[in-house]
Chain A
Amino acid sequence: MTTDLDNRPPRTVVRLDDVRKEYGDATALDGVCLEIRAGEAVAVMGPSGCGKSTLLNMVAGLDRPSSGTVQVHGQDLGALNETGLALFRRRHIGMIFQFFNLIDDLPALDNVALAAQLTGASARQARRRALELLDELGIADRKDTYPAALSGGERQRVAVARALMNRPALLLADEPTGALDSRSGEQVMDLLIDLNQIGQTLLIVTHDPHLATRCAGRLIEVADGRVARESTLEPAA
């Protein structure tokens, strides 16, 4: 795996201090404090509507807290404007989603290359790097296939490759196995474990205890917008 960890991120990759998020009268997050260190794999669990997706959005810079601070890779996200956040995400954060969110008009290779091309990399350079990633994820032979013709597991692998394209300090996964059959789910879990083992910091939001226990070293349980419990998990077998 060629994830770039040479630029030595600070020991703490994610720090949330007393983060509150309100939508009108509803409180989605209520004074959340959280710290994720480099190389950690953290799972966030909780019932629907508890605020775990909001928490992920805060860390990804997709949403802003009503109060409190969110720091990722040493950068206070509240200090960045929309363009700054986009540039920050591009360089330091990779995201994978439950429904893959691939662009239907582009084949697998171009979907992956897209992330690098946005930073200004040439099409050739981007495709070469994308091909390396697809090869490492075992789907290089599907590089010219369009998303509609890929299986769920393959689509998620393409999404993972895209997330890793710019060598992010933090990989966020939102229900990464939620839309997959059990076999494809297991394959994705193996992939996440491999990534973590080579030092990739992971934050996984899931309903699935099996995913959490297999992939994460630490479990954060959220209820009613608060961190209800934190626990350390046994390393995956």
Chain B
Amino acid sequence: MSAVWRAARAAVKRRRLQTCVIGLVVLCSTTTVLLGLALLTAASAPFDGAFSHQRGAHTVAAFDLTKASRPQLAQTARRPGVQAAAGPFGQAVLEMPEDWLWMSAGSLSVVGRADPDGPVDRIRLLEGRWATAPGEIVVSWPVDGTPGPGRLGTRLKARGAPTLTVVGFATSMSKSAGAWVSPEQIDQLRPATAQMLYRFTDAATDQQLRTGLTTATAGLPAGSLTTAQSYLTIKRAFAAQADAYLPFMTLFGVLGLLVSVLIVGNVVSGAVVSGHRHIGVLKSLGFTPNQVVAVYLTMVSVPAVIGCVIGTLIGNAVAAPLLRVAFSGIETGSASIGIGWWPSVLCLVGMPALVVVAALIPAVRAHRLSAAQAITAGSAPRTGRGLRAQRRLGGTRLPRPVSLGLGQPFARPGRSLLTMAAIVLGVATVTLTTGLTSTMVAYGNAGKGDGTARVDVQSGSPAAGRTASELSDRQIEQRLRSLPGADRVTARALTKVRLAGYTQTVFANFYRGDTQDLASEIVKGRWPAGAGEAAAGPAFLSQHGLSVGDRVTVQLNGKQTPVTIVGELMEGNAQALDSNWRTLARLDSTMQAAEYTVRLARDADARRYITAVEATDPALRPALRRSDDTATTTVVGFASVFTVLLTVVAALGVFNTVLLNIRERRRDLGMLKSIGMTPRQVMTMTVSSVAALGLAGGLLGIPLGIVAHRLVVDHVGVISFPESMKQVWHLPQLAALIVAGVTIAVLGALIPARSAARLTIAEVLHNE
């Protein structure tokens, strides 16, 4: 084996440039693939891990205590199909009249539990301690991290309930409650319902969960089950943010993998083919065919392994901050968002394996070659290939260096096709990114109207520690309208409501005034102008199984009203719906607007308007609205990273192809220079040899990119892009994209072309 190792080491040392190219290609490819895999796994794996760790409830069910007794509910734990159960726990809904802690006024679901542990839903205490006595409450902290000990001791005053002191913050992956109190405290709140937490033996699908619950509750009186919340819904909500990015991340991952396979295959097989002479020498020295194969596999494996390891390290380093951006703002609970171990292992094993497989095919060919054939393989004159093309090109009016270059790809059609395929995918990526950027920029600008400034004005709230305004809601709106510079004013009330049949509370926005900007975000149906009408984003609709035209019952403070979904917003919070003041009047006629949005006139000075608002009433807090382009930034950021990586990989593929061609044509180049081809003409010829591939790659890659763009924008779960945002292609843009293929090709060819131009003729021609 030492002879093989020595020969391979010598080959690596002798072919430093080629070794570097293999290493770089594998490095970039590994980073690309790892990033794709990281996002794919991060979308579900952390939830599964944390949910399993807490023995999360597959179903959180609430039962009407007037219809089913606690012993009857306890019996359900022993029904077939129930793997484990916890409860019954008393459950009450508190109405919080004002903003509290970080949350707005509305319903708060409270459950009485003696401790956070148990066979199901082992709640994780983040801060403080568990509520053990009446008057104590533990509040759910749904997002990553902890609120810190500073907020412990906060006193909560709910309507019709005793004051409760916050003694702890906890998180439940089952989202079983908004807060927990002791069993004694819940009894004092006179709970109307009881909560049961179930884990079922079969819980992979919604259907299995429905069957499990039906079996478990079969013996209970009819109508006793009031609500049931599936963990699959929570899981979908968890992944909703990542789902927005998944379609294009998947596509980029697949593109990266394809380009990597093509380029690695091309680079490695090229390395073996160009080494045929060396193979002949090895065989003539007495290396067996298997040893020759081993030498070549070792030769390409060394840079591949190094490139793969470095690529994996870079991929891990880049993935962490990218994932943080992708999951920012999501209710992660105790799930930690990070890159799992298996994408790294897969890359570390898979990429070198891919390289070895790519090398194996030409290496096996070398295995079969006789020593004499192998030695002459590099120098024997070629026949047949591309001759007709060269001949025809020679008769055209093109400058001879250009026509010579254009004919070169026909001499090695296989290599040329692989190179072109990489360029096609590179251009498709650039096209996809360009389209996505245009769509996302249009999306980011949506609702910004004609670009005039918007000022958000919040009225004071004692619960938030601020002085209340002395003006009434209507007076505030009137004042804001009357101030110089105001064009349109929209008032908004925000509260938590419940939807009949759903356990999770929902945020409801009720608007009044000028709603043109909001109406412009409707992609299906219309803006809810009438009483009992609402609109919501695609995430809300899909997670609640609703669509335009469906009716739900909205409950607030003991009142309820039917609401029809009349419109779908382009995007929106998965837990929020939008309605109007007339609908709010049916639920709570006393509620006041908490925020006003003022669209200023075109020439108005925003700073002057804000000063005027502050002078009107110090309790009003105006702020110029900053555009929130997180989604745009994230998508464009991800896309840019992938585009750079894939473009570099494609350009490296071209670089390698040109390098191999130059090596094979050294003698021709020397001769051409000897008869007067200038360095510039050599450059022109070399660059022309791939520019045509680049042009063809551009022409093929653009339609592919356009199709990919359409696929992505049609499958972003949390955003429904209107058709106007999908139609982003214009002629000048497409013309520029064709140039992208040529640019990738020229960039890859430039360095080897310069080296070709500098080739020492005397050395080449006299070393034959």
Q: Which residues of A contact B (CB under 8 A)?
A: 53-54, 57, 60, 62-63, 82-83, 86-87, 89-91, 94-95, 97-99, 101-107, 110, 113-115, 117-120, 122-123, 127, 146-149, 162-163, 166, 174
Interface mask (B117-151 → A, CB under 8 Å = 1, otherwise 0): 00000000000000000000000000000000000
Contact assessment for A95 and B674 in the assembled complex, using a CB-CB cutoff below 8 Å: yes
Q: Of A86, A97, A103, A162, which is within 8 A of B673 by CB?
A: A86
Contact assessment for B762 and A104 in the assembled complex, using a CB-CB cutoff below 8 Å: no
Bound CA span A62–B396, Å: 30
Chain B residues whose C-beta falls within 8 Å of the C-beta of A99 in the assembled complex? 768
Residue of B nearest to A81 (CB): B679
Q: Which of B399-416 touch A at CB < 8 Å?
A: 399-401, 407, 411
Contact assessment for B766 and A53 in the assembled complex, using a CB-CB cutoff below 8 Å: yes
Contact assessment for A91 and B382 in the assembled complex, using a CB-CB cutoff below 8 Å: no
Chain A residues whose C-beta falls within 8 Å of the C-beta of B411 in the assembled complex? 105
Interface size band for B: 35 or more
**Which of B667, B760, B762 has the largest count of A CB atoms less than 10 A from its CB?**
B762
Q: Interface-forming stretch among B330-338, B386-394, B583-591?
A: B386-394
Contact assessment for A105 and B382 in the assembled complex, using a CB-CB cutoff below 8 Å: yes
Contact assessment for A89 and B386 in the assembled complex, using a CB-CB cutoff below 8 Å: no
Chain B residues whose C-beta falls within 8 Å of the C-beta of A62 in the assembled complex? 674, 760-762, 765
Chain B residues whose C-beta falls within 8 Å of the C-beta of A103 in the assembled complex? 668, 671-672
Can you list 23 pairs linking A and B with CB atoms under 8 Å apart?
Answer: A63-B762, A82-B678, A86-B676, A86-B678, A89-B675, A90-B676, A95-B674, A101-B668, A101-B674, A103-B672, A104-B383, A106-B391, A110-B391, A114-B400, A114-B675, A118-B672, A118-B675, A119-B676, A120-B399, A122-B397, A123-B394, A146-B383, A174-B766
Chain A residues whose C-beta falls within 8 Å of the C-beta of B765 in the assembled complex? 62, 97, 101, 174
- In the assembled complex, the CB of A130 is this many whole angstroms from the nearest CB of chain B, namely 11
**Which of B670, B672, B674, B762 has the largest count of A CB atoms less than 10 A from its CB?**
B674
Bound CA span A113–B411, Å: 20
Residue of A nearest to B667 (CB): A101
Bound CA span A231–B47, Å: 94
Chain B residues whose C-beta falls within 8 Å of the C-beta of A114 in the assembled complex? 400, 672, 675
* B71 within 8 A of partner (CB): no
Contact assessment for A89 and B395 in the assembled complex, using a CB-CB cutoff below 8 Å: no
**Which of B381, B677, B681 has the largest count of A CB atoms less than 10 A from its CB?**
B381
Given A99-B768, A147-B381, answer yes or no on A118-B676 (Cβ-Cβ < 8 Å). Answer: yes
Given A53-B766, A105-B382, A110-B391, answer yes or no on A123-B396 (Cβ-Cβ < 8 Å). Answer: yes
Chain A residues whose C-beta falls within 8 Å of the C-beta of B391 in the assembled complex? 106-107, 110
Bound CA span A150–B114, Å: 99
Q: Of B400, B401, B407, which is within 8 A of A105 by CB?
A: B407
* B680 within 8 A of partner (CB): yes
Contact assessment for A113 and B678 in the assembled complex, using a CB-CB cutoff below 8 Å: no
The 9 closest A-B pairs by CB, nearest first: A90-B676, A117-B400, A101-B671, A86-B678, A148-B381, A62-B762, A57-B762, A104-B381, A105-B390
Bound CA span A118–B401, Å: 7
Chain A residues whose C-beta falls within 8 Å of the C-beta of B675 in the assembled complex? 89-90, 94-95, 114-115, 118, 162-163
Bound CA span A120–B397, Å: 10
Bound CA span A90–B765, Å: 17
- In the assembled complex, the CB of A30 is this many whole angstroms from the nearest CB of chain B, namely 18
Bound CA span A221–B676, Å: 29
Chain B residues whose C-beta falls within 8 Å of the C-beta of A163 in the assembled complex? 675
Contact assessment for B670 and A101 in the assembled complex, using a CB-CB cutoff below 8 Å: yes
Chain A residues whose C-beta falls within 8 Å of the C-beta of B679 in the assembled complex? 82-83, 86
Contact assessment for B677 and A118 in the assembled complex, using a CB-CB cutoff below 8 Å: yes
Chain A residues whose C-beta falls within 8 Å of the C-beta of B760 in the assembled complex? 62-63
Contact assessment for B394 and A113 in the assembled complex, using a CB-CB cutoff below 8 Å: yes
Chain A residues whose C-beta falls within 8 Å of the C-beta of B385 in the assembled complex? 105
Contact assessment for A110 and B394 in the assembled complex, using a CB-CB cutoff below 8 Å: yes
Bound CA span A123–B675, Å: 17
- In the assembled complex, the CB of A52 is this many whole angstroms from the nearest CB of chain B, namely 11
Given A63-B762, A122-B397, A123-B394, answer yes or no on A115-B676 (Cβ-Cβ < 8 Å). Answer: yes
Chain B residues whose C-beta falls within 8 Å of the C-beta of A90 in the assembled complex? 675-677
Interface mask (B99-131 → A, CB under 8 Å = 1, otherwise 0): 000000000000000000000000000000000
Contact assessment for A89 and B394 in the assembled complex, using a CB-CB cutoff below 8 Å: no
Bound CA span A162–B670, Å: 15
Bound CA span A106–B411, Å: 11
- In the assembled complex, the CB of B37 is this many whole angstroms from the nearest CB of chain A, namely 44
Residue of A nearest to B385 (CB): A105
Given A99-B768, A118-B672, A148-B381, 15 more A-B residue pairs with CB atoms under 8 Å apart are A62-B761, A86-B676, A90-B677, A91-B676, A95-B675, A97-B765, A101-B668, A101-B670, A104-B382, A105-B407, A107-B387, A107-B391, A110-B394, A123-B394, A127-B395
- In the assembled complex, the CB of A108 is this many whole angstroms from the nearest CB of chain B, namely 12
Residue of A nearest to B396 (CB): A123
Chain B residues whose C-beta falls within 8 Å of the C-beta of A98 in the assembled complex? 768
Chain B residues whose C-beta falls within 8 Å of the C-beta of A83 in the assembled complex? 678-680
- In the assembled complex, the CB of A137 is this many whole angstroms from the nearest CB of chain B, namely 17
Bound CA span A54–B385, Å: 36
Contact assessment for A106 and B670 in the assembled complex, using a CB-CB cutoff below 8 Å: no
Bound CA span A149–B670, Å: 22
Bound CA span A142–B679, Å: 32
Contact assessment for B390 and A106 in the assembled complex, using a CB-CB cutoff below 8 Å: yes
Contact assessment for A166 and B668 in the assembled complex, using a CB-CB cutoff below 8 Å: no
- In the assembled complex, the CB of A193 is this many whole angstroms from the nearest CB of chain B, namely 23
**Which of B391, B673, B766 has the largest count of A CB atoms less than 10 A from its CB?**
B766
Interface mask (B598-613 → A, CB under 8 Å = 1, otherwise 0): 0000000000000000
Given A101-B765, A106-B390, answer yes or no on A166-B676 (Cβ-Cβ < 8 Å). Answer: yes
Bound CA span A135–B370, Å: 41
Chain B residues whose C-beta falls within 8 Å of the C-beta of A106 in the assembled complex? 387, 390-391, 394
Chain A residues whose C-beta falls within 8 Å of the C-beta of B382 in the assembled complex? 104-105, 148
Bound CA span A114–B674, Å: 12
Bound CA span A113–B768, Å: 24
Bound CA span A146–B130, Å: 91
Residue of B nearest to A99 (CB): B768
Given A106-B390, A107-B391, A148-B382, answer yes or no on A123-B397 (Cβ-Cβ < 8 Å). Answer: yes
- In the assembled complex, the CB of A220 is this many whole angstroms from the nearest CB of chain B, namely 19
**Which of A82, A86, A87, A148 has the largest count of B CB atoms less than 10 A from its CB?**
A86
Residue of A nearest to B383 (CB): A148
Bound CA span A114–B404, Å: 10
Chain A residues whose C-beta falls within 8 Å of the C-beta of B761 in the assembled complex? 62
Chain B residues whose C-beta falls within 8 Å of the C-beta of A122 in the assembled complex? 397
- In the assembled complex, the CB of A129 is this many whole angstroms from the nearest CB of chain B, namely 14
Q: Which of B735-768 touch A at CB < 8 Å?
A: 760-762, 765-766, 768
- In the assembled complex, the CB of A142 is this many whole angstroms from the nearest CB of chain B, namely 15
Bound CA span A58–B667, Å: 19
Chain B residues whose C-beta falls within 8 Å of the C-beta of A87 in the assembled complex? 676, 678
Bound CA span A119–B400, Å: 9
- In the assembled complex, the CB of A164 is this many whole angstroms from the nearest CB of chain B, namely 11
Bound CA span A115–B404, Å: 12
Residue of B nearest to A120 (CB): B399
Chain A residues whose C-beta falls within 8 Å of the C-beta of B407 in the assembled complex? 105
- In the assembled complex, the CB of B753 is this many whole angstroms from the nearest CB of chain A, namely 14
- In the assembled complex, the CB of B181 is this many whole angstroms from the nearest CB of chain A, namely 87
Bound CA span A148–B394, Å: 19
Residue of A nearest to B679 (CB): A82
Bound CA span A86–B759, Å: 13
Residue of A nearest to B677 (CB): A118
- In the assembled complex, the CB of A83 is this many whole angstroms from the nearest CB of chain B, namely 5
